[in-house]
Amino acid sequence: MAVLAVDNLCKSYGGEEVVAGVSFRIAPGECFGLLGPNGAGKTTTLRLCLGLVDPDGGSIELMQRRVPGEARPARLHVGVVPQMDNLDPDFTVEENLLVYGRYFGLPERTIRERIPRLLEFAGLAARAASRIQTLSGGMKRRLTLARALVNDPELIFMDEPTTGLDPQARHLIWERLKQLLAQGKTIVLTTHFMEEAERLCVRLAIMDRGRFITEGSPRELIARHIEPHVLEVHGDGVAGWARDEAGPLASRVEKSGDTVFCYAADPAPLLANLSRKDLRYLHRPADLEDVFLKLTGRELRD
């Protein structure tokens, strides 16, 4: 039984299709990643799934309830960590959790029992009485995560949970998400950090221009879409080298700025050639970012 089943979902704004026929199902306990460049339609897809926006077409079933019609009761079992911080600045850390728990109609006692555990989980036990303005970005994000757990949800939506955080804060969030998955929670997250997707997601979809362009486990996507070896070559004369010599040695050559990316199933001919040149290079296994850039292109999205 899927906790979220989306079928042929469509949404347009001013004639522009932001979500253009998206379908997917999320099984309980899964961590599903939605990847895509800015403006791909990730956040709109999440808002549609939560019933915050009415779709133009298609169907959504969240926690076995039709959305948007029954979105409110469905959200009783769902937690949300939004992209933009919307903690209540008028309250302390603890009050934020208390007030948010009330929105779920939870009895006061239940909320007060949960607060110490939630603060512990978020690493904010010592900051219960702190005002929101005094928290760091990482603390705020952890509090937002704790707030999303106040109703003990089965499914948690996270919209770019680690954007803007430093590596320490990011790793701590990842640790917590793994704990939640170990507890059997289901997580749907959007991100444009490939590392995050690779670490956390069992399954992911890459979204661009409102459509899913591919779907699978991180390994599957790499195996399906990209050659296993990557050489990043740079230095004086790299452009000439790419034009005259790289072509036959690699299955694909891409230029980005002053760097040439060579993709190959067998790196030996490239390595042999480069050993005789005065070019600097980095040889690494292909990763999800290569898949992402191949499928969505290298040009900037703003």
Partner 1 sequence: MRAFALPSISLRCVPVWRRNLLVWRKLAVPSLLGNLADPLIYVLGLGYGLGSMLPQVGGVPYIAFLAAGMVCSSTMNSATFEAMYSAFSRMHVQRTWEAIMMAPLDLDDVVLAELVWAASKSILSGAAILAVIWLLGLTHSFLSLWVLALVPLVGLAFGALALVVTAMAKSYDFFMYYFTLVVTPMSLLCGVFFPVDQLPTAFRAVAAFLPLTHAVAIARPLLLGEIPGNAALHALVLLAYAAAGFYAASVLFRRRLLK
| Binding residues for partner 1 (CB under 8 A) | 13, 50, 52-54, 72-73, 75-76, 80, 82, 84-91, 95, 99-100, 102-105, 151
Nearer to partner 1, 57 or 73 (CB): 73
Q: Are 158 and 81 in contact (CB under 8 A)?
A: yes
* Nearest-approach distance from CB 38 to partner 1, in angstroms: 19
Nearer to partner 1, 87 or 271 (CB): 87
Measure the CA–CA gap between 224 and 235, rounded to whole angstroms.
31
* Nearest-approach distance from CB 212 to partner 1, in angstroms: 23
Nearer to partner 1, 87 or 125 (CB): 87
Nearer to partner 1, 190 or 296 (CB): 190
The DSSP secondary structure of 245-283, one letter per residue, reads IIHHHSSEEEEETTEEEEEES--HHHHHHHHTSS-EEEE
Q: Give the end-to-end CA distance of the chain in Å, rounded to a whole number.
A: 38
Q: Torsion-angle region of residue 241: left (phi > 0), alpha (psi -120 to 50) or beta?
A: alpha
Which segments of 150-251 are extended strands (E)? 155-159, 186-191, 203-208, 211-216, 229-234
Q: Are 263 and 250 in contact (CB under 8 A)?
A: yes
Q: And the tokens for 197? A: 């997707």
Nearer to partner 1, 52 or 125 (CB): 52
Nearer to partner 1, 99 or 295 (CB): 99
Measure the CA–CA gap between 36 and 46, rounded to whole angstroms.
13
Gyration radius of the chain over CA positions: 22
* Nearest-approach distance from CB 49 to partner 1, in angstroms: 12
* Nearest-approach distance from CB 199 to partner 1, in angstroms: 25
* Nearest-approach distance from CB 89 to partner 1, in angstroms: 6
* Nearest-approach distance from CB 78 to partner 1, in angstroms: 8
Q: And the tokens for 196? A: 């995050």
